[in-house]
């Protein structure tokens, strides 16, 4: 199969804005076209991901660039939307159908609580078991019980990510906080505090991808190879994300990030030891700890030790969330994974200034969300 590479990347900062989703999406798309040095006329298909926007969002954003007649598809896979869209566009290139595609993620989410009836059963919402962080909290509490993970170790993840965000102009929050401030912030769902949770918001990210063998014809950028892009749904009872109403006490299936990353490592022909930097789904700070284990950065139960030892700091041997993570960037669901990949492209190009991982050559992005939707993408310089 033909190799696929990224030749352009663009982003609209994540946050809250007065602009429409059309303006936000167009901003990122233009930035990616300019970065690649190509014209909209060179794009042969576009796949657009969003979860909280109207039907035909993609054409509404991109058709004004010129009605070139290419297919513009909208796709959604919850927090993993960017992975499923990228994969679809790659398949079109790998099959030989097209050479150049645009993958765009855009979101403008409603403020306040997300409508619980979009993901929970009515009875769960009536009874008050419809607070997303409560499900993350129950998983954290169990990990603490089984492995002795502490509230302080969970807070350290938020401390690290907030600290990293200071250097990321595209993050929503760009402020470092002390451990006292984080652990003293409002207790949302015991043991998870407010400063350990990501906020839904707005933003867009865009990649221009191309068959690697012809990349030089379109762009003078050094192509970044997409060594793997895998999207899966969690096995039976293997995930704890909302919405769940029960969990098997007998089944012992591996978690979605473990399954998905294993497939991705295999496709890329590498292991976790070969990856220089990671962007992962820190919906809440505990979630990042769990992902360390599922990505194979440490044995199960040892994520707390990993954060204590500073292994996942920018200066550590396995840097995670150099961008500040979702905790700092916020999570515009449709744009989230492509935003991670934007950051990783900049890391592989060596553009990241104070948050640069020295000599990064291989990078991994991971997302996980509702219904156990999980995506892992591995990029190689």
Interface residue list for another protein (CB under 8 A): 112-113, 115-117, 121-131, 134, 137-139, 141-142, 145, 186-192, 236-237, 244-251
Query: How many CA atoms lie within 13 Å of 280's alpha carbon, on the beta-carbon side?
Result: 27
Q: Which residues contact 217 (CB under 8 A, 6 or more apart)?
A: none
Nearer to another protein, 69 or 250 (CB): 250
Contact 251, 366 (CB under 8 A): no
Q: Which two tokens stand for residue 94?
A: 């790998």
How far apart (Å, rounded) are the C-alpha atoms in residues 9 and 181?
Answer: 35
Nearer to another protein, 51 or 346 (CB): 51
| Least distance CB 151 / another protein (angstroms) | 13
How far apart (Å, rounded) are the C-alpha atoms in residues 167 and 291?
Answer: 24
How far apart (Å, rounded) are the C-alpha atoms in residues 228 and 64?
Answer: 32
Say which residue the tokens 């962080």 belong to: 133
Contact 281, 370 (CB under 8 A): no
DSSP-derived letter for residue 359 is: T
DSSP secondary structure, 155-195, as one string:
HHHHHHHHHHHTT-TT-S------HHHHHTS-EEETTEEGG
Backbone phi and psi for residue 49, each to the nearest 5 degrees, phi listed first = -115, 135
| Least distance CB 326 / another protein (angstroms) | 20
Nearer to another protein, 128 or 169 (CB): 128
Nearer to another protein, 251 or 269 (CB): 251
Dihedral (CA of 326, 332, 334, 340) sign:
negative
Backbone phi and psi for residue 55, each to the nearest 5 degrees, phi listed first = -55, 145
Nearer to another protein, 128 or 359 (CB): 128
Nearer to another protein, 141 or 305 (CB): 141
DSSP 3-state assignment of 9?
Answer: strand
How far apart (Å, rounded) are the C-alpha atoms in residues 253 and 350?
Answer: 39
Nearer to another protein, 123 or 350 (CB): 123
How far apart (Å, rounded) are the C-alpha atoms in residues 53 and 23?
Answer: 13
| Least distance CB 250 / another protein (angstroms) | 4
Nearer to another protein, 141 or 263 (CB): 141
- The length of the chain in residues reads 381
Nearer to another protein, 137 or 333 (CB): 137
């Amino acid at each position: 199969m033909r190799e696929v590479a990224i030749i352009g990347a663009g982003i609209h900062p994540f946050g809250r804005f007065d602009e429409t989703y059309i303006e936000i999406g167009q901003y990122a798309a233009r930035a990616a076209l300019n970065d690649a040095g190509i014209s909209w006329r060179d794009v042969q298909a576009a796949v657009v991901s969003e979860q909280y926007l109207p039907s035909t969002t993609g054409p509404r954003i991109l058709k004004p660039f010129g009605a070139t007649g290419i297919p513009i598809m909208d796709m959604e896979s919850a927090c993993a939307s960017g992975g499923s869209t990228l994969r679809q566009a790659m398949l079109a290139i790998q099959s030989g159908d097209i050479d150049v595609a645009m993958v765009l993620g855009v979101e403008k989410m409603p403020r306040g609580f997300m409508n619980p009836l979009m993901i929970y059963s009515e009875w769960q919402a009536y009874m008050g078991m419809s607070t997303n962080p409560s499900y993350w909290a129950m998983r954290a509490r169990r990990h603490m019980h089984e492995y002795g993970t502490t509230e302080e170790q969970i807070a350290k993840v938020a401390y690290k990510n907030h600290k990293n965000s200071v250097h990321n102009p595209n993050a929503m929050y760009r402020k470092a906080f002390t451990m006292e401030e984080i652990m003293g912030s409002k207790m949302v769902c015991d043991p998870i505090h407010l400063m350990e949770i990501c906020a839904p918001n707005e933003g867009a990210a865009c990649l221009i991808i191309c068959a690697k063998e012809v990349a030089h014809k379109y762009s003078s950028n050094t192509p970044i190879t997409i060594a793997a892009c895998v999207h899966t749904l969690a096995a039976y009872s293997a995930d704890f994300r909302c919405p769940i109403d029960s969990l098997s006490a007998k089944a012992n299936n591996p978690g979605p990030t473990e399954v998905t990353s294993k497939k991705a490592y295999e496709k890329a022909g590498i292991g976790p030891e070969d990856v220089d930097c990671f962007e992962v789904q820190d919906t809440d700070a505990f979630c990042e700890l769990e992902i360390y284990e599922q990505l194979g950065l440490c044995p199960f139960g040892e994520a707390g030790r990993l954060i204590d030892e500073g292994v996942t700091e920018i200066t550590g041997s396995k840097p995670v969330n150099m961008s500040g993570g979702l905790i700092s960037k916020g999570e515009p669901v449709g744009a989230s994974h492509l935003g991670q990949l934007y950051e990783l492209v900049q890391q592989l190009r060596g553009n990241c200034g104070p948050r640069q991982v020295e000599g990064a050559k291989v990078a991994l992005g991971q997302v996980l969300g509702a219904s156990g939707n999980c995506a892992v993408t591995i990029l190689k310089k």
